Structure 1
Amino acid sequence: MGGQVDGFVDPRFRAVRDIFEESFADGQNLGAGLTVYANTRLVVDLWGGVADSRTGRRWERGTPCPTFSCTKAVTATAALQVAAKHRVDLYAPVTRWWPEYGCAGKEATTTADLLAHRAGLPAFDRPISAAEAADPAHMAGLLAAQTPVWEPGTRHGYHAQTFGWLAGELVRRHTDSTVGDYALRYLKAGLYIGADEAVRAETARTEFPHADQMAWDDIDPIPRETADRMAAAFRDRDSLTLRATANPLGRYNDPEVLAGGWPATGLVTTSDTLARFYRTLMQGRYLHPRYRMEATAEQVRGPDEVLLSESAFALGYMLPCENFIVPPAVPAGVFGHPGAGGALAFADPNSLLSFAFIPNLRRDWMAGDRRAYNLVESVYAAL
């Protein structure tokens, strides 16, 4: 059902195309885009398969697709750029620029805490509708009034949805702009955090494989006890894990969600646009190189209070860990962010390499999804 793969590869990267093509032939992919820049030069730009299985619409070079948590790196970059322009001290209390936040035990929370998932606000206290989620001022107000789950700065846990409105509030308060508007104006055209009607009409429709392909039976290298703990948490509607990841609850084929501009998970874009975003970030055009190095240095690593496994974060960017597994050939210093269902985008400053893979068939690592891993492995073998 995948169809023909189109696009360009540098001859040295022919094996990358072979692996990409095989992923359609064996049914691992429905539709997808893959782009790689090495030494700032385009070496892989491939796309193929089906953007919408209901109509048979093909995936074209310009087909955008939801990227889920790949969004967080864009939102973090916007927040860091604004912080640099407005001389925000990342290690000073958030109350210097967000006075209302200083209540309920959050008075000492720093901006770095917000960006490094240390804020202690990984979940909302009540269910949130898609309509509410489209109002960033309202969402920030809800978080400002909440009591943290843990003392800010003392532990870390994945702020799966709340990260966007916490980091995004820095952008909104200093620029009177949403993260989505700011990203289009100051970062890269084609980074849609809030997709308009025309973009939505071209957007790939996300799907899940059959239920028998979603069982967690291929968890390596994650320990079995970790996987069991995570599985139990996802079955428990009252767990912090489920409350953090499933509220607001939205289907990413829903026009209201795609238009809502959710700044932690709402990015709709192409693999080429996302890879070029990381290339530009490494070139020092978004952040001064010294500031970028500070922003991508490890802030936290270890047991995650929400994901119940190892996670590692810089200031908004995820670093290789159990939730961002990379092949052994990938050197230290890589930063980026995976997205639910198999998407992955990252930068490698050592190789001046940027990588983006965006599929619309939402598979799971612990159910055997190795699409991005295999592509990354083949890219590094070709360097």
Structure 2
Amino acid sequence: MSETVNGWVDPAFRAVREVFAADFADGRDLGASVAVFVNGRAVVDLWGGVADERTGRVWERDTPAVTFSCTKAVTATAALRVAAESGSDWDEPVTSWWPEFGVADKDSITLADLLTHRAGLPAFDRPVSAAEAADPAAMAARLAAQRPVWEPGSEHGYHGLTFGWLVGEFVRRRTGSTVGDYTRRHLGADLWIGPPPDIAERTARLASPPPDQQAWTDPGPIAPETVAAMARAFRDPDSLVLRATTNPVASYNKSEVLTGGWPATGLVTTARALARFYRDLVDGTLLPPTVLAEATRERVRGRDAVLLLESAFALGYMLPCENLILPAPARSTAFGHPGAGGSIGLGDRENRVALAFTPNLRRDWLAGDRRAHDLVAATYAAL
């Protein structure tokens, strides 16, 4: 284990290293990094394993990784920062800054609705290519012309890909910059939503475990009937969850997708940089404390119309729920966002914790993946 894991931990947090190393020893990780800040101070900075199993390229200190929906918290923060700086109210209609959006019964939708997945636009109504997805203005225009699949504000459902182009349009129209450009200037220079080709080339290559390790075998606290309904939905190409998460159809191992700057799922970064982002959120550097306090207040909780299980959201940040299962000490105070396959970014204003985990072996926690959960648990046990 010692040969696989590199980096440093504060002695008080050695259990985090033990959990991280055990996941490599047991085959739960291929390559990964984890970083933790407490009270603004780095206490964990670890990495190890293989960045590309085809070539054997090792995971180095600055190997970036795709973080999937961890991106949403970064995009949301960009929008919240722009709103605070411009004096915009997230409860004002979207049409106040995007007039073309107010068609097809969408005139009442607010920025808060976009941030809390209540807009009723979780999927595109026709196929979109990866090349088209690189044009944020065109993607936003497509969504502006669509009719919601449910009455806006009446329920919430995960906008897996569309979230980024909807919320990102607020940033683009208010600043003239894409979310990716704005993020690197104001939120973190190593947070790439649309990395340049050289960074895309160094990004860890994603891999999947064998089929027998992908079955949903450990639903934990989720009712079996909910797991069964989710399994059926993921087998149905017409289901809302597949339409919301697989269009555009693309491989995140391809440079075209990585450099395309998808603002809901395209963040490429290190665990260190993502944890630093949450550190800067928690300490008031990125958002005024009063804004962050309001932005992390629970807005919606309940059955997700897309995911079919319980989800809970503040303004763009996910809160502990069936889709973000956290150990008990973190459940009442943590916020952040998980990403497909096991990545996570997490902040906690009360306990002054910031944590990120970025793996390249894509697992699903419903299939027994507890990597991020156990790293969070070890961190809180050491506080």
Q: TM-score range by the shorter chain?
A: over 0.9
Whole-Å separation in 1 of the counterparts to 2:25 and 2:193? 32
3-state SS, counterpart of residue 237 of structure 2:
coil
1:159-186 superposed Cα distances (whole Å, 9 cap, x missing partner): 0000000000000001111100110011
Alignment of 1:109-258 (within 5 A): 109-258=109-258
Q: Which residue of 2 aligns with 1:14?
A: 14
Whole-Å separation in 1 of the counterparts to 2:70 and 2:223? 25
Whole-Å separation in 2 of the counterparts to 1:351 and 1:60? 30
Q: Which residue of 1 aligns with 2:78?
A: 78
1:333 CA drift (Å): 2.4
1:43 aligns with 2:52: no
TM-score of the superposition, structure 1-length normalised? Answer: 0.99
Whole-Å separation in 2 of the counterparts to 1:226 and 1:310? 10
3-state SS, counterpart of residue 118 of structure 2:
coil
1:67-120 superposed Cα distances (whole Å, 9 cap, x missing partner): 000000000000111111111111111100000000100011111001110000
Q: Which amino acid aligns with 1:140?
A: A
Q: Which residue of 2 aligns with 1:25?
A: 25
Q: Which amino acid aligns with 1:176?
A: G
Distance 1:242 1:261, change over 3 A: same
Whole-Å separation in 2 of the counterparts to 1:85 and 1:44? 33
3-state SS, counterpart of residue 16 of structure 2:
helix
Whole-Å separation in 2 of the counterparts to 1:333 and 1:178? 31
3-state SS, counterpart of residue 278 of structure 2:
helix
Whole-Å separation in 2 of the counterparts to 1:15 and 1:113? 40
1:211-249 superposed Cα distances (whole Å, 9 cap, x missing partner): 111011111111111100001001010111110011111
Whole-Å separation in 2 of the counterparts to 1:331 and 1:53? 35
1:191-224 superposed Cα distances (whole Å, 9 cap, x missing partner): 0000111101211001000111101111111111
1:283-306 superposed Cα distances (whole Å, 9 cap, x missing partner): 111111101111111110001000
CA RMSD of aligned residues (A): 1.1
Q: Which amino acid aligns with 1:198?
A: D
Moved runs in structure 1, 4+ residues, more than 6 A?
A: none
3-state SS, counterpart of residue 151 of structure 1:
coil
Whole-Å separation in 1 of the counterparts to 2:116 and 2:3? 41
Q: Which residue of 2 aligns with 1:365?
A: 365
Whole-Å separation in 2 of the counterparts to 1:277 and 1:6? 22
Whole-Å separation in 1 of the counterparts to 2:220 and 2:324? 13
Q: Which moved more, 1:373-382 or 1:129-138?
A: 373-382
Whole-Å separation in 2 of the counterparts to 1:321 and 1:50? 31
TM-score of the superposition, structure 2-length normalised? Answer: 0.99
1:331 CA drift (Å): 4.5
Whole-Å separation in 1 of the counterparts to 2:2 and 2:38? 27
Whole-Å separation in 2 of the counterparts to 1:321 and 1:343? 16
Q: How many residues align?
A: 383
Alignment of 1:317-332 (within 5 A): 317-332=317-332
1:2 CA drift (Å): 11
Whole-Å separation in 2 of the counterparts to 1:42 and 1:90? 33
Contact 2:201 2:255 in 1 (8 A): no
Whole-Å separation in 1 of the counterparts to 2:208 and 2:144? 35
1:260 CA drift (Å): 0.3
Q: Which amino acid aligns with 1:52?
A: D
Whole-Å separation in 2 of the counterparts to 1:350 and 1:66? 28
Contact 2:218 2:368 in 1 (8 A): yes
